[in-house]
Structure 1
Amino acid sequence: MKTDRSKVKRIPKRGAYDTETIYGILDKEFICQIGFVHHDHPVVIPTIYGRQDDTLYFHGASVSRMLQSLEDGVNMSLNVTRTNALVLARSAFHHSLNYESVTLFGKAELVSDTAEKIEALHVISDQILKDRWQEVRQPNEKEMNVTKVLKFSISEGSAKIRNEGVGDDKADYELDIWAGLVPIERTYGIPVSDPLLKKGIPVSQSVLNLKDEKL
């Protein structure tokens, strides 16, 4: 939903409000920055999230100040940003970045239903590494009791995207200075086994599936 606070005001042509664009950016990442006010002070905290349809889930320790504050219904803002290239101009002023970002607004609520809580943890796990959840021991009662899960409805927000080349002043195109794009590419490295791993245990299939994937 496009609102006054979610409307992109600086270079509005870069703004997008459709779910396909917003979900596409959210699905490429798994870390967001959550902003809220705690004891009259603004706070921004990074956390892992998972998306299922129009809901984002995030979790943490039951004593987390962020989760306790958000559970009380305070207003929050959530941002996800992905940088794709350095934009190197002939002038210092016109240097930039190509990026994709999403900023959302709203309130979170506690997930109290046990079945939904487990499913939410599964969603978060799959956001980070698909199919890992099926390979590991599931959370036990004690672990569930010390973990809170909150959900956030994706209903108000916007995306902002820069995917352009260099934009120098006309006179600067005569300068003998290299300009262009430097793509930023992130890939997964070679798995390093835990030194306490029992002998003969192969690398998990979920990890092997990352071989040719990019972050």
Structure 2
Amino acid sequence: MAPQPHLIPSRSAKRAHYDKETIYPILDEALFCTISYVFDNKPFSIPTAFVRYENKLYIHGSVGSHFIWELEKGVPVCISVTLLDALVVAKSAFSHSVNYRSVVLFSNGVKIDEAKLKADVLEWLTNKIVPDSWDYLRPMKDNEVKKTTVIAFDIDEASAKVRTGMPNDEEEDKPLPIWSGIIPIETIRRDPQPDLLSQEIPLPKHLMPGKLIS
């Protein structure tokens, strides 16, 4: 089935992908998304942590958050995610670019009231941010769960856009004695640093160097 018009990029449409095999890994690697919506005829864009499970994207927030109040009404939103892989350095500034993987999706939020699913989402999100940490931490209290709202978004209207490879220099620029290529960019989790209360507490296994994924 052909993608809906609002999912097709106006430029470099050949870089667009509409399959779950491309979209899901990008969402799973990214830790944060930006949720955009309109309130009182004004545009808002809010960055927030998220987790994907099957064909839904989940976020959480305080029950007192105006942002959460608006989303739980089911207002239309646009959610975007970008992973930067490299700076693309060409022989001219005009031809500079970046290698990236991105996802844009359109959806409407649904508040999760089912206690089991709500608890599961909080566990998935916690383990995404700090892998394998949920069972190590002090269990969440009932009042903490009650103070937290979980909202789900279907990932039905989504498209990914990906750029890879070297610069696309103009033909007349290619012979110029100017360096061109790529500068890889990586997001790396460094070794954990304890706060004052944890100086004498052994580092748990899931936080050991090499255990934290990039």
1:139 is matched with which residue? 140
Change in Cα spacing, 1:95 to 1:214, as seen in structure 2 (3 Å) is farther
Shift of 1:99: 0.1
Shift of 1:146: 1.4
2:109 is matched with which residue? 108
Shift of 1:186: 2.3
Q: How does 1:1-215 map to 2 (within 5 A)?
A: 2-197=3-198, 199=200, 201-208=201-208, 211=210, 215=214
Shift of 1:127: 1.7
Question: What is the one-letter code of the residue matched to 1:18?
Answer: D
Shift of 1:174: 2.4
Tell me, yes or no, if the aligned pair for 1:56 and 1:153 is still in contact at 8 Å.
Answer: yes
What is the aligned residue count?
213
Question: What is the one-letter code of the residue matched to 1:41?
Answer: K
- Large movers: runs of 4+ above 2 Å: 212-215
Matched-pair identity in %:
36
Give unmatched runs, 5+ long, in structure 1.
Answer: none
Tell me, yes or no, if the aligned pair for 1:185 and 1:214 is still in contact at 8 Å.
Answer: no
Q: Which SS does the other structure have where 1:23 is aligned?
A: helix
Q: Which SS does the other structure have where 1:5 is aligned?
A: helix
TM-score (norm 1): 0.94
Tell me, yes or no, if the aligned pair for 2:35 and 2:46 is still in contact at 8 Å.
Answer: yes
Shift of 1:72: 0.8
Question: What is the one-letter code of the residue matched to 1:99?
Answer: Y
Give unmatched runs, 5+ long, in structure 2.
Answer: none
Shift of 1:171: 1.1
Q: Which SS does the other structure have where 1:132 is aligned?
A: coil
Change in Cα spacing, 1:212 to 1:120, as seen in structure 2 (3 Å) is closer
Shift of 1:129: 2.0
Find the aligned partners of 1:155 and 1:60 in 2 and give their Cα distance: 23
Question: What is the one-letter code of the residue matched to 1:204?
Answer: P
Q: Which SS does the other structure have where 1:79 is aligned?
A: strand
Find the aligned partners of 1:212 and 1:133 in 2 and give their Cα distance: 15
Q: Which SS does the other structure have where 1:102 is aligned?
A: strand
Find the aligned partners of 2:131 and 2:212 in 1 and give their Cα distance: 12
For each residue in 1:63-102, what CA deviation from the matched residue of structure 2 results, as whole angstroms up to 9, or x when unmatched? 2122111111110011110000000001010000000000
TM-score (norm 2): 0.95
Question: What is the one-letter code of the residue matched to 1:205?
Answer: K
Q: Which moved more, 1:118-127 or 1:190-199?
A: 190-199
RMSD over equivalenced CA pairs, Å: 1.5
